[in-house]
Amino acid sequence: MNRTVKILHLAALTAAAALFLATTTDVAAQTSRNCGPREAVVTRLAEGYGETRQSMGIGANNAIVEVFASDQTGSWTITVTAPGGLTCLVASGQAFEELAEALPVNESDA
């Protein structure tokens, strides 16, 4: 994976982590619906949806943000794992594509 793709993935992961942390006020409230032990969540994504980890990064408060996706079905899921090991689903959807877009050319002389 080239540097540009890594930067784009990290930017997306950071935005997802920020959104997650901004909208989550109580982790305990999330556990019954969207959270569980990391191993169980990863197993469910693999067995239920054919998703594997595509990228990862460190978000706010040392949380691990990961993007899982299936090349066959195009489904994707973003997870955030707290330092204590609790993994929460942040977002999911369809039509996952890996992009390698170039950064825009900066034409200023500065």
Has residue 107 been placed in a domain? no
Q: Which helix (H) or strand (E) holds 38?
A: helix 38-49
Residue 74, pLDDT score: 95
Average pLDDT over every residue of 29-56 = 88
- Write out pLDDT tens, residues 56-88: 999 999 999 999 999 999 999 999 999 999 999
Has residue 41 been placed in a domain? yes
Has residue 109 been placed in a domain? no
Alpha-carbon gap, residue 21 to 15, rounded angstroms: 10
Report residue 106 CA to chain centroid gap.
29
Has residue 102 been placed in a domain? no
- Write out pLDDT tens, residues 18-33: 555 555 544 544 445 6
The domain tally of the chain equals 1
Has residue 108 been placed in a domain? no
Has residue 103 been placed in a domain? no
Has residue 99 been placed in a domain? no
> Which range of residues forms the domain containing residue 35?
3-93
